[in-house]
Amino acid sequence: MSRSAAPAALPAAGSSDSGAGTSGGELMITVSIMLATIMQVLDTTIANVALPHMQGSLGTSSDQITWVLTSYIVAAAIMTPPVGYLAQRFGRRQLFLWSVAGFTITSMLCGQAGSLNEMILWRLLQGVFGASLVPLSQATLLDTYPKEKHASAMGIWGVGVMIGPVLGPTLGGWLTEYYSWRWVFYINLPLGILSLVGIYLYVPESETRKQRFDVLGFAMLALAVGALQMLLDRGEQVEWFEALEIQLYAIAAALGLYLFIAHSRSTATPFLSSELFRDRNYVTGVAFIFVVGIILLATLALLPPYLQQWKGYPVVTTGLVLMPRGIGTMVSMMLVGRLLKTIDARYLILLGMGLISFSLWEMTGFSLQVSRGDIIRTGLVQGLGLGLVFVPISTVAYVTLAPQLRGEATALFSLSRNLGSSIGVSIVMAALSRNLWINQQQLAERVQLPGGLLGSLPSADSIGALPGAVMEEVTRQAAEIAYVNDFYMLMWINIAAMPLVFLLSNPDKAGAPKR
């Protein structure tokens, strides 16, 4: 039942004729929920560059300040799976309003935090409220637009989801440099208010239904997801599985996942509907978006330190050099909606994966003398490829899925993308650190110095015995090789995922359920 404030021509989300509303109503709904989406995805990366400034202001160590990121990521990961149930139980519009309001208020409280404990508390709550924003926005757009416009709707949604990781570090660095680290949180206030007003006025009520909440299933899944996120986030700081902490996280994650699967198979009302896992298109889409998450965030995690630490680029220049990657993504996302009307989605996915693999292959040829033009060109090609993959997958994944399953389906879809991002970043950064150390040792052993200088060193095969200038060059060359190895690894991960496209059904012949 719609509120009087909503446009009369716009039907309730989830109804059989959903999406038949006026273009003005569709536009206002889209703008309102995309503001919420951008606000949430920005906060996954915007605070990273402000950590050193927070550390001084809050009086914490470098290890302690990372909990500002960890608390948010873990809370958001744990609270993403129950979004579907909450939307069905309380209504998507009500959940959206509470989530946007809570996220905006906790953002302000993060900006006013005077101690690390306060900051961690508000970041935890910010993650709790923010977890539902991306899956709710995707489900709302799918219900607002008719089936023939789903590709265009997912293109718009994809721009909002992908713009955060691209603009977050640049915007965060600019706000921190010219204003204060607190503004990386205060910037959410205008976005949150505009989104809240738009959702209240234009987003219609959705149907609600009471159903049993599988507390045990949620608890086991939350344990698995939370422990895995902690393992990925803390592993690099404590030498991975050499630390008891990481071993305990791994045991907890494996045990939680096993108990969740065993419980889901034995209960009549599992936390996640079994129908989701019987839909081949959806399961394949979830696997694909996991790989997209790896490539998207892992590459962004590698390039800023590569450009700033080893190429000597300032923060602003780094942001400008990386910007064409985001531009390429947005351009292809806006075009792919039209292309899907005439070209099989599977061909577009293969083309996109091919472009991503080609750009990563070109990046394996990077050296520390690589030009800005080459960095911009490869980034642009990779961005075009990501857009060609993201939109078709986000559309095809739901084409054979019943509309009533969209709430929990979009939540699991977002969780898969986020887990892919976390795993991808952890893998490439761990490999980078390990390869850098190995390469340093191997290169140092091969350094040949003049005889007189060699005799003055206590141990000619020790990197610590090399003169400063030689050691610096050895480290630079070791870093160059380590980055190239990571780009190779990402390229092969992407290539290995390409055969998944053959598991997808042709959307035009898939027999999609009526809306």
Question: 304 or 386: which carries more pLDDT confidence?
Answer: 386
Hey, what are 179's tokens?
Answer: 């204003």
208 and 90 in a single domain? The answer is yes
For residues 480-490, give the mean pLDDT: 91
Residue 508 scores a pLDDT above 60: no
490 and 360 in a single domain? The answer is yes
Q: Of 164, 179, 213, which residue is a domain's last?
A: 213
45 and 147 in a single domain? The answer is yes
For residues 438-453, give the mean pLDDT: 69
CA distances from 465 to 126, 215, 452, 471 (A): 49, 60, 14, 9
For residues 157-169, give the mean pLDDT: 73
373 and 431 in a single domain? The answer is yes
Model pLDDT, residue 332: 87
For residues 403-427, give the mean pLDDT: 83
Residue 1 scores a pLDDT above 60: no
- At 371 the three-state DSSP class reads coil
Question: 495 or 515: which carries more pLDDT confidence?
Answer: 495
Q: Give the structural domain span for 142.
A: 1-213
- At 132 the three-state DSSP class reads coil
Residue 10 scores a pLDDT above 80: no
Model pLDDT, residue 467: 60
Question: 120 or 464: which carries more pLDDT confidence?
Answer: 120
Selection from 228, 296, 287 nearest residue 257 by Cα: 228
161 and 110 in a single domain? The answer is yes
Hey, what are 17's tokens?
Answer: 């004729």
Please state, for a pLDDT cut of 70, what percent of the chain lies above it. 87
Query: Which value, to the nearest 10 degrees, does the dihedral of the CA atoms of residues 300, 301, 307, 312 take?
Result: 140
Model pLDDT, residue 513: 47
498 and 476 in a single domain? The answer is yes
Model pLDDT, residue 340: 82
DSSP code, position 419 = H
Model pLDDT, residue 11: 37
Q: Which residue has the tokens 């150390």?
A: 437
Cα angle for residues 461, 462, 467 (degrees, 5° grid): 105
Model pLDDT, residue 341: 80
240 and 342 in a single domain? The answer is no
For residues 127-155, give the mean pLDDT: 83
Q: Of 197, 213, 229, which residue is a domain's last?
A: 213
143 and 256 in a single domain? The answer is no
Asked if residue 304 lies in contact with residue 318, where contact means CB atoms within 8 angstroms, the answer is yes
pLDDT in tens, 281-315: 899 989 888 888 888 778 877 887 888 778 888 76
Q: Report the C-alpha gap between 466 and 469 in whole angstroms.
A: 8
CB-based burial of residue 262 (10 Å sphere; 0-12 exposed, 13-18 middle, 19+ buried)? exposed
**150 — phi, psi (to 5°)?**
-60, -40
255 and 355 in a single domain? The answer is no
250 and 289 in a single domain? The answer is no
Residue 13 scores a pLDDT above 60: no
For residues 119-139, give the mean pLDDT: 89
Per-residue confidence at 24, pLDDT binned at 50, 70, 90?
A: low
Please list, in sequence order, all residues whose beta carbon lies within 8 angstroms of the beta carbon of residue 66, skipping any fewer than 6 positions away.
51, 233, 237
Model pLDDT, residue 3: 39
For residues 368-380, give the mean pLDDT: 89
Per-residue confidence at 450, pLDDT binned at 50, 70, 90?
A: low
For residues 308-330, give the mean pLDDT: 79
Model pLDDT, residue 477: 86
395 and 492 in a single domain? The answer is yes
Residue 15 scores a pLDDT above 70: no
Question: 240 or 352: which carries more pLDDT confidence?
Answer: 352
Q: Where are the alpha helices (DSSP H) in 447-467?
A: 451-455
Residue 101 scores a pLDDT above 80: yes
Residue 372 scores a pLDDT above 70: yes
One-letter identity of residue 74: V
CB-based burial of residue 257 (10 Å sphere; 0-12 exposed, 13-18 middle, 19+ buried)? middle
Q: Report the C-alpha gap between 495 and 143 in whole angstroms.
A: 33
pLDDT in tens, 184-206: 889 899 999 999 999 998 888 87
Model pLDDT, residue 45: 72
Residue 20 scores a pLDDT above 50: no
- The pLDDT mean for the chain works out to 80
Asked if residue 282 lies in contact with residue 409, where contact means CB atoms within 8 angstroms, the answer is yes
Asked if residue 205 lies in contact with residue 394, where contact means CB atoms within 8 angstroms, the answer is no
Q: Report the C-alpha gap between 288 and 15 in whole angstroms.
A: 29
Question: At 307, which CATH number?
Answer: 1.20.1250.20
171 and 314 in a single domain? The answer is no
Asked if residue 136 lies in contact with residue 33, where contact means CB atoms within 8 angstroms, the answer is yes
Q: Which of 41-50, 135-144, 404-413 has the lowest mean pLDDT?
A: 41-50
Domain count, the chain: 3
Model pLDDT, residue 125: 93
Residue 44 scores a pLDDT above 60: yes
Q: Report the C-alpha gap between 276 and 195 in whole angstroms.
A: 30
How close are the terminal C-alpha atoms of the chain, in Å? 18
Model pLDDT, residue 254: 94
Q: Where are the alpha helices (DSSP H) in 267-314?
A: 274-278, 280-305
Q: Of 270, 293, 309, which residue is a domain's last?
A: 270
